[in-house]
Amino acid sequence: MNRGTIEDAIDVIQASAGDDEAAHGLEDKLRRDFIKSLADGEYGASMDLQISARLVLSTEDLDFKRWCA
């Protein structure tokens, strides 16, 4: 994930702002994709940062319902 990819995703989110649910979903996707890119070492991040990013992503494995209003 590079700056251009992030900027493109932000443009899509902004274009979807009239549909709160869609914009929220796209925002969540951008955040997840960015955190995953950190966890995968795409930025040459420090090991501590990669471990922390993996920990943040691990909540996806927790068994509970995700609700959005």
Residue 65 lies in a domain: no
Residue 35 lies in a domain: yes
Q: How confident is the prediction for the chain on average, in pLDDT? A: 83
Residue 41 lies in a domain: yes
Q: Which domain holds residue 52?
A: 3-58
Q: Under a CB-based contact definition with an 8 Å cutoff, are residues 49 and 39 in contact?
A: no
Instruction: Kindly indicate the confidence band of residue 64, based on its pLDDT and cuts at 50, 70 and 90.
Output: low
Helix axes 47-57, 20-39, angle to 10 degrees: 140
- The pTM (predicted TM-score) of the whole model is 0.72
Q: Is the pLDDT of residue 51 over 70?
A: yes
Q: Residue 29: what pLDDT?
A: 92
Q: Residue 33: what pLDDT?
A: 92
Q: Residue 34: what pLDDT?
A: 86
DSSP the chain: --HHHHHHHHHHHHHTTTSHHHHHHHHHHHHHHHHHHHHTTTT---HHHHHHHHHHHGGGGS-S-----
Say how many CA atoms lie within 13 Å of 14 toward its Cβ.
6
